[in-house]
Amino acid sequence: MDVVLLLQLLSAALCLCGAEDSRSGWQWSWACKAGRCIKSDYPVSHAYAASRGTSNITRSSQSACRLTCGQYGALWPRPTGPTTIGEQVVTFHPSRIRFDLQEVAASNRGPTEFVAACTQLFLDNLLVECANSVAVNIRAETVYGARHGLETLSQLVARVPAPLAGAGRGRSASRKHLLLMASNVRLSDAPVFRYRGLMLDTARNFLPLYAMKRTLDAMAASKLNVLHWHATDSQSFPLESPRVPQLARRRFGAYSARQVYSPQDVEHLLEYARLRGVRIIMEVDAPSHAGNGWQWGEAAGLGQLAVCVNQQPWRKYCIQPPCGQLNPTNPNLYRVLRDLYRDILDVFPLGEALHMAEIVDWMAARGQGRTQDDFLQLWADYQSTALRTLDEEVGNSNTPIILWSSQLTQPDIIGRFLSKDRYIIQTWVPASSSLPTELLAKGYKVIYSTKDTWYLDHGFWGSTVYHNWRVVYDNRIPRKGGVLGGEACMWSELVDNQSLDMKVWPRTAAMAERLWTDPDSKSTTAEARFYRHRQRLVTRGIKADALAPAYCYQNEGECQ
């Protein structure tokens, strides 16, 4: 399917966005030299700048200079195809943009609605940054490609102080701003890796819906396309299941009555993500990492659904409190799982992948006398029964299943338990580990979550170190068949809504360029564009961490 999107930007007009400086202030200017925006030696007053009119408008703010400076201007992630951004710019008003959706409409109704919604999001993004006639032509094979095109287009826009004095009179008058768009651009673009993910954990600490939506906004801005939702764990089960209300709604799994996700919440989030080019893959952690939420089995006559729940001393049974694992020998467990799967399938789009977790640390927990092999077999039996249950509910065996790497996925034994046609393995090993390549050699598809670069919780506990954006950016994964892509993981023991943004962003955006573009160059080359992208995230309401003194943003290349 071809999606062609035509935009018309009409007639210059003052944009009334932003009004921070008074006319008595001063401003610096920037000039593009050899791909760097160089700050002027001294500032001039706003009044003087205004008297010079519109000449050299790209010099009047750093973001305007950055727009057309260097081969890739202010784009993040960097496009992968031929890209030219000329020096020409035009001013325009966001309310004067027209979208011609005729060619989209030619195909069918769903895509039209999708693209229409995307164009509105695009306008919103322009408005927060805050015209001659310009034509923009975006051609894509899918609506998601078209959405990415709009995202890129929004990055071809910068805000500059209005050069005309007419906007206000007197010293106290506030300053107006103009939106500027690079007007001579030709580029084609496609991602290197098709799976570009971020994992959020809502079980250790609950994340309100608005926090997840904020995260999706930032993912869209960075062209990430998978939100891996680690919804449950042994600490809590906030996911409401109409068929198994005991899990969350009826007191067993949720921290409180309002810290739950209803099916409506999930549906809403799915749609919110879809319009931003992001799919959501649900993970209900099992058979390990399941405790609170599962305690009601015996009282309901179903026997023990989970074992070791909140058992102390926890160090004997699990790696962090509280303990808890599903009881694979209880047939009723699978009845409950069936209901839970049904509820998830009711909400998620047909055929969407499911993450079935599988990190087991129960080896020592129960059943003395069993050997390591017995345990692996028990575990594998659980997995095949759980999968069969899922397939029966779906009605086919096509649902892609993702599993964390574990003892069960060791290269020498994985073939005994897990089919390479069915399972995708998400590896969470250090960059130095050979596990992913061994799995690839055996024909498994792999998602990389390199734990010594893409684990965002590191640095705040134990002997782990924090991976700053340069480390995140410089982590390369092999480009070969079977490598679906990568994923950054935000385990939430030490994060909640208060600090989520600054721990996830802008580092995850650094990974986004690694996965979309996978350039041969290192982070140093990307610095100026990345600083601009961080600013873009902040403008869109994400409290992204600071990367360097503002001096380094303003004086490109001077801090290396």
Partner 1 sequence: MGFGSSCFQMFVSASAGCLRKLLVALTLLTAGLIAILYYGRLEDLQPSFGSNTLRHCAVDNLWTWECEGQHCVRRESRGARTSLATCRMKCGSVPLWPQPTGVTDLASQSIPFRLKVLRLEVRSSYIRRLLQDAFDVFRSNLENLVPSSCPEEASKEHLHDFLVTLEVRSEDRQPLLKLATNESYQLLLQSAGAAKLRAEIRAQSFFGARHGLETLTQLVWWDDTSLRVLTRAHIIDAPRFAHRGVLLDTARNFLPIRSLRAAVDGLAACKLNTLHWHLSDSQSFPFDAQRLPNMARYGAYSSALVYSARDVAELVEYATVRGVRVVVELDAPAHAGNGWQWGPNLSVCVNQQPWSMFCGEPPCGQLNPDSEELYVVLGELYRDLVALTNVTDVFHVGGDELNLQCWARELRGPLTHEELLAKWAKFQKRVLQLLAGAMGGTLPRAVVLWSSQMTRPHYARMYLDPRVYVIQTWGASAWREAPALLQAGFRVILSHLDAWYLDCGFGDWHGGETGACSPVASWQTIYQHRPWTELVPRNLILGGEACLWGEMVDENSLDAKMWPRAAAFSERMWTDPAIDDATLRDAQVRLAVQRERLVARGIAADAMWPQWCDQNPDKCLEPLDTSHA
Within positions 15 to 34, which residues make up the interface with partner 1, using CB under 8 A? Answer: 20-21, 25-28
Using CA atoms, how far apart are residues 177 and 60, in angstroms rounded to an integer? Answer: 11
CB of 194 to partner 1, least distance (A): 5
Question: Token pair 């015209």 is at which residue?
Answer: 131
Using CA atoms, how far apart are residues 32 and 10, in angstroms rounded to an integer? Answer: 27
DSSP category for residue 57: G
Stretch that binds partner 1, among 29-37, 49-57, 115-123, 368-376 (CB under 8 A): 115-123
Within positions 29 to 68, which residues make up the interface with partner 1, using CB under 8 A? Answer: 41-43, 46
Using CA atoms, how far apart are residues 47 and 53, in angstroms rounded to an integer? Answer: 10
CB of 56 to partner 1, least distance (A): 18
Contact 281, 352 (CB under 8 A): yes
Stretch that binds partner 1, among 300-308, 375-383, 412-420, 536-544 (CB under 8 A): 536-544
| Site membership for partner 1, residue 243 (CB under 8 A) | no
The string of DSSP letters for 86-140 reads -S-EEEE-GGGEEEE-HHHHTT-HHHHHHHHHHHHHHHHHHHHH----EEEEEEE
Which residues lie across from 92 on neighbouring strands? 179
| Site membership for partner 1, residue 479 (CB under 8 A) | no
Within positions 362 to 421, which residues make up the interface with partner 1, using CB under 8 A? Answer: none
Stretch that binds partner 1, among 64-72, 163-171, 408-416, 541-549 (CB under 8 A): 541-549
Choice between 73 and 328, CB closer to partner 1: 73
Order of strands across the sheet that contains 177-182: 89-92, 177-182, 157-161
| Site membership for partner 1, residue 494 (CB under 8 A) | yes
Given 182, 284, 306, 345, the residue binding partner 1 (CB under 8 A): 182
Choice between 112 and 389, CB closer to partner 1: 112
Given 54, 71, 108, 133, the residue binding partner 1 (CB under 8 A): 133
| Site membership for partner 1, residue 538 (CB under 8 A) | yes
| Site membership for partner 1, residue 300 (CB under 8 A) | no
Given 129, 343, 393, 457, the residue binding partner 1 (CB under 8 A): 457
CB of 141 to partner 1, least distance (A): 6
Using CA atoms, how far apart are residues 71 and 76, in angstroms rounded to an integer? Answer: 12
| Site membership for partner 1, residue 315 (CB under 8 A) | yes
Given 339, 502, 518, 539, the residue binding partner 1 (CB under 8 A): 502
Contact 356, 319 (CB under 8 A): no
Within positions 196 to 235, which residues make up the interface with partner 1, using CB under 8 A? Answer: 203-206, 208-210, 213, 225, 235
Contact 469, 177 (CB under 8 A): no
CB of 134 to partner 1, least distance (A): 6
Given 56, 71, 88, 434, the residue binding partner 1 (CB under 8 A): 88
**CA of 242: how far to CAs of 40, 254, 289, 345, in Å?**
63, 14, 22, 12
Choice between 164 and 550, CB closer to partner 1: 550
Contacts of 42 (CB under 8 A, 6+ apart): none
Look at residues 504, 425, 427 and name the one whose alpha carbon lies nearest to residue 472: 504
Give CA angle at 487 (481, 488), nearest 5°.
Answer: 155
Helix axes 523-539, 507-516, angle to 10 degrees: 120
Stretch that binds partner 1, among 51-59, 64-72, 385-393, 452-460 (CB under 8 A): 452-460
> The tokens of 165 are what?
């004095």
Given 107, 310, 329, 330, the residue binding partner 1 (CB under 8 A): 310
Given 303, 415, 443, 549, the residue binding partner 1 (CB under 8 A): 549
106: left (phi over 0), alpha (psi -120 to 50) or beta: alpha
| Site membership for partner 1, residue 474 (CB under 8 A) | no
CB of 353 to partner 1, least distance (A): 9
Total of residues contacting partner 1 (CB under 8 A): 149
| Site membership for partner 1, residue 144 (CB under 8 A) | yes
Look at residues 192, 184, 187, 117 and name the one whose alpha carbon lies nearest to residue 147: 117
Given 14, 52, 262, 377, the residue binding partner 1 (CB under 8 A): 262
Handedness of CA 423, 428, 434, 437 (dihedral sign): positive
CB of 162 to partner 1, least distance (A): 15
Choice between 66 and 503, CB closer to partner 1: 503
CB of 83 to partner 1, least distance (A): 9
The string of DSSP letters for 417-456 reads H--TTTEEEEE---TT-SHHHHHHHTT-EEEE--HHHHBT
Choice between 206 and 338, CB closer to partner 1: 206
Given 277, 287, 328, 519, the residue binding partner 1 (CB under 8 A): 277
